[in-house]
Amino acid sequence: MNPLVVLTRPEGSNEPLAAMLRARGWSTLVQPMLRIEPLPDEQRSPVPDLPTGARCIFISANAAKQALPALEEPLRRADAICCAVGAKTASVLAEAGFTPQVPEQPDSEGLLALPALVDVNEQTVLIVKGEGGRGLLAKTLIERGAKVIDYIGYRRVPEPDPDSAFKEQLLGANALVFQAASGETLEQLTGLLKRIQCEALLAATLVVPSERVAHMAHEAGWRTVLTAVDASDQAFLDALGIEAQIEGIEEQIEDAGPEGHTDAGLKAPAQSSRHRPNTSVAAAMPATPSDKESKVNSASTSKRTSSPSPPRADRFARFLAVVIVLSAIAAAAAAYVYLWPQWLAQTQTIQTLQQQLAQVQEDQQRFESGAQRRLEAGLNAATARVTAMGEERLASAARERAERATLDQRIDDRLQRLELRLARLTATDRRAWLAQEAAFLIRLASQRLLTSRDIDSAQALLRNADRLLAEADDPRLTLARNAIARDIAQLQAAPRIDTIGLQARFSALVTLVDELRVRPEQPTPQAAVSGDSFWQRAGAGWQAALTKLSSYLVITRREDARAAIMTPDLEALLRQNLRMLLEQGQIAALSANQSLYDSAIDRAAAFAAQFSAVDPERSAVILSSLSELATQTIAPPLPDLVATDAAVTDAIRLLDTDAVTGPGQPISQESADQESAEAVSADSDPTAAPATDGGAR
């Protein structure tokens, strides 16, 4: 029984192939995966203005059908060279009156080998296609120097999923053959089988039109992939086997004559040869003696019975008999020379066709047996895969159970440790609580030093911690108290930074910068001196003339280049630059960044020194203040309190051990390590300690 063939081309493209398959006894199921739709007007590509001699490539018949109404006139006007990917696309162009070039290999590589697309340097190439597709074609043409224009003629829209009857037909078939005429169709078909939970059907036979789509099919999980020559119906039939060839030969044998020609050529001659062999052969064979005797007897009898003829008539009769005999001999010889080889050739042709038919039948049987073996192999592979998946799931479930058991064991261990910790906390005496509170104060002091460098607050916190440890009055806290005393002494020796005073001095400098003069003053013209004398009046007139002339001419002293280019905007920019340098030093003082502070002071001093000649008084004040600020140390070294915190933590651990096991009782190393790790993890979060201490107090 032939397999069920599932045809997946867009609607309207499957009927010819389905009819051919049904005529050959194959069952078909038409289920389109994609639907061809024209683009909306707002998304449609504009019609390009093509130069003369441009190339136009149609990569599918759908592209030609959808785009020709808009491109036919521009293509004719530009006398464009059209190229079609295959025969079907070429037929669509031929119906429109174009003569396209068609490659022998119907794909991108075949198109690129066409003579019109080999030398396309500085040529315009229009690629007519649907949405997406054939990136290799455009990339290669661009590398050859062509100007590539894409024209989108249509789009492919996925068809909705079929109903449950489609799945029942697939599962009810003995064997399946799927068709995927493009990469997008393959993606939709694979996704549909997964959505309807028919992944096992990926072991069925799949027919694809190219090696590229075959590679995509193998990556998607298909295991039996047949690669056709192209996407045509005949290529699909050829990929399935040689059934079309068998029937073609049978029809040729039925319709051919003795030499294998068609009905129009040799049916009539063959028919005449069947009806004329007796007469022709009899005419061709020589006359036997008995025939001659009968003829002579008949002649003599006629002579005896008839009246005597004149001698001329007798000679004419003899001559006529000789001509008839010679004609019969010539006809027999011609039949032997011409008709006998032709008959032998026709007989040989029939034998050859019969041998070919037997060979084709043998090939068909071999194909059917091979297809059966492939189907059995696919079924075995699917069974093995399902078995492997089941075993893998069982192993995964076993691993999950083992992990869950391990997690349960960890939870049990943690519960035991928490119970032990709870017992320890409930058994802790007042000394342990005091030590815990002291540890929290030490960590708070460390935070104050790291964030705000508040020495006084850190000292106060350390003194409170030492007072709590002194109240606990336990010799195991001696090392912790020694560390606290050492840190307090270091903090007392650390210099204090007057941050508020620094900020005030910087603010005063910023205010002074706003009053700093950065532009040299221009000399004012002197007023004319009036008088009564002639020379005084002449001088006053001359001075008035100069004043009037100065309103039209501006004299700039070239020895002061800065005054020559100084504008109000530049003057404001210079003040803003100096102000920003001072504010940078102010921010560095707040963040205790010594390197940034020193850099800002030095740059501000160098910048302010440039205006000493223009405004010496204010520049001197600014430079003096900056020199004093440069001597300030804003980030003196401070203790980190790490050793103190560690000493208090060790003392707390000793106190907790005594609370759980009793004074002087040993504790196992494993429990001690676990408790130490938990204590460190709990102590690493300083925000959790106040709630515990506050609740205890």
Q: What would the mean pLDDT of 141-154 be, rounded to a whole number?
A: 90
Evaluate whether residue 646 is within a structural domain: yes
pLDDT at position 61: 86
List pLDDT tens digits, range 479-511. Answer: 888 888 888 888 887 777 777 877 888 888 888
pLDDT at position 565: 55
| Residues 89, 64: Cα–Cα separation, whole Å | 7
Report which of residues 137 and 260 the model is more confident about: 137
263 shares a domain with 402 = yes
Residues 285, 332 contacting (CB under 8 angstroms): yes
Residue given tokens 């004043």 in the structure block: 547
Give 560's Cβ-side CA count (13 Å radius).
14
331 shares a domain with 365 = yes
Q: What would the mean pLDDT of 351-362 be, rounded to a whole number?
A: 82
pLDDT at position 496: 72
Residues 525, 551 contacting (CB under 8 angstroms): no
297 shares a domain with 357 = yes
Evaluate whether residue 612 is within a structural domain: no
Which of 245-254, 414-423, 619-628 shows the lowest mean pLDDT across its residues? 245-254
pLDDT at position 282: 32
- Which of 425, 458, 480 delimits the end of a domain? 425
Report which of residues 83 and 497 the model is more confident about: 83
- SS3 category, 233: helix
Report which of residues 379 and 83 the model is more confident about: 83
Three-state SS letters, 287-309: CCHHHHHHHHHHHHHHHHHCCCC
Parallel, antiparallel or unpaired: strands 176-179 and 4-7: parallel
Residues 439, 641 contacting (CB under 8 angstroms): no
- The answer, yes or no, to whether residue 373 has pLDDT greater than 90, is no
List pLDDT tens digits, range 269-322. Answer: 333 333 333 333 333 333 333 343 334 333 333 333 333 444 555 677 778 888
pLDDT at position 147: 93
Evaluate whether residue 232 is within a structural domain: no
126 strand-pairing partners: 56, 149
46 shares a domain with 138 = yes
- The answer, yes or no, to whether residue 110 has pLDDT greater than 80, is yes
Residues 622, 518 contacting (CB under 8 angstroms): no
List pLDDT tens digits, range 403-435. Answer: 999 999 999 999 988 887 776 666 556 788 888
389 shares a domain with 289 = yes
41 shares a domain with 29 = no
Domain that holds residue 467: 428-494+637-696
Tell me which range, 177-186, 539-548, 636-645, is most confidently predicted by mean pLDDT. Answer: 177-186
Evaluate whether residue 272 is within a structural domain: yes
Under the banding of pLDDT at 50, 70 and 90, the label for residue 630 is confident
**How many domains, the chain?**
4
413 shares a domain with 269 = yes
Report which of residues 567 and 46 the model is more confident about: 46
Under the banding of pLDDT at 50, 70 and 90, the label for residue 627 is confident
331 shares a domain with 382 = yes
pLDDT at position 6: 93
Q: What would the mean pLDDT of 36-51 be, rounded to a whole number?
A: 82
pLDDT at position 190: 93
| Residues 610, 561: Cα–Cα separation, whole Å | 13
- CATH number assigned to the domain comprising residue 45: 3.40.50.10090
| Residues 589, 502: Cα–Cα separation, whole Å | 8
CA-based nearest residue to 453, from 589, 576, 549, 306:
589
- The answer, yes or no, to whether residue 529 has pLDDT greater than 80, is no
- Which of 143, 158, 173 delimits the end of a domain? 158
Evaluate whether residue 231 is within a structural domain: no
Tell me which range, 41-50, 113-122, 662-671, is most confidently predicted by mean pLDDT. Answer: 113-122
Residues 207, 17 contacting (CB under 8 angstroms): no
* pTM, entire model: 0.35
381 alpha-carbon distance from chain centroid: 31
Six-digit token string for 525: 């013209």
Residues 622, 511 contacting (CB under 8 angstroms): no
- The answer, yes or no, to whether residue 550 has pLDDT greater than 50, is yes
178 shares a domain with 274 = no
Evaluate whether residue 393 is within a structural domain: yes
377 shares a domain with 333 = yes
- Which of 148, 177, 212 delimits the end of a domain? 212
Six-digit token string for 419: 């119970």
Evaluate whether residue 618 is within a structural domain: no
- The answer, yes or no, to whether residue 387 has pLDDT greater than 80, is yes
Rounded to the nearest 10 degrees, how much is the dihedral formed by the CA atoms of 263, 268, 270, 272?
Answer: 170
Evaluate whether residue 622 is within a structural domain: no
Report which of residues 603 and 537 the model is more confident about: 603
387 shares a domain with 331 = yes
Under the banding of pLDDT at 50, 70 and 90, the label for residue 531 is low
Rounded to the nearest 10 degrees, how much is the dihedral formed by the CA atoms of 451, 456, 458, 459?
Answer: 160
CA-based nearest residue to 608, from 582, 628, 634:
582
Task: Give every CB contact of residue 492 below 8 A, 6+ residues apart in sequence.
Answer: 459
List pLDDT tens digits, range 442-475. Answer: 888 888 887 777 788 888 998 898 898 888 888 8
| Residues 302, 294: Cα–Cα separation, whole Å | 12
329 shares a domain with 290 = yes
